[in-house]
């Protein structure tokens, strides 16, 4: 992984083969002391673990895909929970037949490269656990 601050609000991140997306972006967030940001990206992955949240049961069903996939879209936020970097990312990937798969991103391993833009936002937002949904939600 390499990244570059291109101005006071934008960081370009390039991920390389075998880099893991969430771990890499959390490393950038920690190094750059990011408290609030939007994330968007694209690239290619060889393994992705993504989930769909079941609200009544308050848990994610994880789906793992392995093979050749285009990362059609990576989107999400970086903020904090208990003062530490926290991520909330969703991903959509396309398989070799052109079918799309998506969900909440748990893990994704890069096959070739990824190009990700982090847009820092003014201020900060921390998270708290919602008793109603079981999710870690923004605390205003």
Quickly name the fold that domain 2-122 has: 60s Ribosomal Protein L30; Chain: A; (3.30.1330)
The pLDDT tens digits for 76-92 are 999 999 999 999 999 99
Q: Where do the structural domains in the chain lie, given as residue ranges?
A: 2-122
Instruction: Taking residues 90-108, report their average pLDDT.
Output: 98
- Say what the pLDDT of residue 46 is: 98
Going by pLDDT thresholds of 50, 70 and 90, the confidence category of residue 64 is very high
Question: What's the rounded Cα separation, in Å, for the pair 62 and 79?
Answer: 23
Res 102: pLDDT: 98
- pLDDT on residue 68: 98
Q: From residue 40, give the alpha-carbon distance in Å to each of 23, 89, 90, 121.
A: 15, 9, 10, 14
How confident is the model over 116-133, as a mean pLDDT? 97
Max CA pair span of the chain? 43
Residue 100 CA neighbour count, 13 Å, CB half: 8
């Amino acid at each position: 992984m390499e990244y570059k601050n291109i101005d006071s609000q934008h960081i370009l991140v390039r991920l390389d083969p075998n880099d893991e997306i969430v771990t890499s972006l959390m490393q950038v967030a920690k190094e750059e002391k990011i408290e609030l940001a939007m994330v968007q990206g694209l690239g290619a992955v060889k393994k992705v673990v993504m989930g769909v949240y079941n609200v009544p049961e308050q848990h994610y069903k994880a789906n793992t895909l392995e093979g050749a996939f285009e990362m059609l879209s990576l989107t999400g936020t970086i903020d904090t929970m208990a003062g530490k970097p926290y991520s909330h990312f969703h991903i959509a990937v396309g398989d070799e037949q052109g079918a799309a798969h998506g969900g909440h991103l748990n893990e994704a391993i890069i096959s070739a490269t990824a190009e990700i833009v982090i847009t820092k936002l003014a201020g900060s937002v921390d998270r708290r656990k919602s008793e109603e949904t079981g999710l870690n939600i923004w605390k205003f």
